Amino acid sequence: MTFQVYMSEDKEAQEDELLALASIYDEEEFRRAECAQGGEVQVSVELSQDFKVVTKGEKQSEYNVCFLPPLVLNFEFPEDYPSTSPPVYTLSSKWMTRAQMSSLCRHLDELWDENQGCVILFTWIQFLKEEVVDFLGIKSPLEVHRAKSSDHEKKLDTKKTPDSCSSVAPLDSRAVALLDPRLDLLPQLLDYDEAQRQRLFDGKVFCCGICFSEKLGASCLCFKECQHVYCKACMSEYFQIQIKDGNVQCLNCPEPKCSSVATPLQVKQLVGEELFARYDRLLLQSSLDLMADVVYCPRVSCGTPVMVEPDSTMGICSGCQYAFCTLCKMGYHGVSHCKLPTEELRDLRDEYLSASVAGQKAVEESFSRDWLDENCKNCPRCGTNIQKADGCNKMTCTSCKQYFCWLCLGALSRGNPYSHFNNPQSPCFNQLFFGVDPDDDDNEFWSDDDD
């Protein structure tokens, strides 16, 4: 009769403990077993705010992390728990060694011995959540070895020779290492950390700096570099306008003076497939335009980017196999002079215009080149021809948006472009308005009186 009373009390205590766990933790943290008195608890280890992970190898890399993959506690209650026997359990991890987890298993057993006869799971979970880092002596930065498979096997191998086991505690069979020695641990740690950060962000409320509406993080976009937050509806409209206008280099944070740029993945999430394809194409083209060793196939029907060898004037299109001269953009002519060099174009301009279409085009090109030489300067970043119509000598390239000085063609800082004209050591000191006609009606607002 007494045995049946104990059994009934144990059964009731087990059920109460499972219900308590279900009320404390969400479905991702605790899952109850369907066919037995037990379940699975995923315990997130608490880390300090400045916790870091480092990798050692040819060069050392350091990463800030807020979350590490959880410790997984699988358990099942024997019939005489908690009156007599402890839960039957296994402890697994994707980043700990079996030696570390074996040490944790021994401490869980000690906690049971101290509290035998009482429910123990919550005590175990609190220890794993709050005290594991200090208990195991884990300190920031946590070093992650990116070694070969054989090296991992040596570090995680549970087998020891009899002589070597005398001073080392044996590994616990309940400790399960989920780290695949063939896979790199670092991406797994960073992916989990990113997912947990996003989950935390999605549940917070933010005020959009554009429409001033309060929305959950799940409906917002956060720029990676600056952490400024705006709602997805506003940013989607902003991105679409910029992409349609071809300003794919300007998908930056709307915060004044902020230079953070949206990632391609963030852009893809907020615009349609057609616009993203245009964004992707223009972004590639703008990047290629900045490369001195890339030209485009001159065939109108092709236009494929072509890599050119240094000091070579021959380009061979990988798309249509057309071999052309990179100077005159006509069929490659070897060491022979280009058919229409600048000098010959000037001679043709002085002659009577022929009726041929080729002659007319040559004259037009000559005039265009002379006009560009006289009225334009090249952007120091991408080489685009820029004309200065009015205003001060701080220029903005219409192609790559680079700030530069019209006088010396030096690139200017995006954060404070006017420091170039305010620095006494600069060759353009106090020359911001040099060359600006003070009598020009369009420039009356730059007068000293207005300042």
- Enzyme catalytic residues: 392
Q: Round to whole Å and give the CA distance between 289 and 136.
A: 54
Give me 2's structure tokens.
């007494």
Do residues 77 and 67 touch, judged by C-beta distance below 8 A? no
Do residues 353 and 364 touch, judged by C-beta distance below 8 A? no
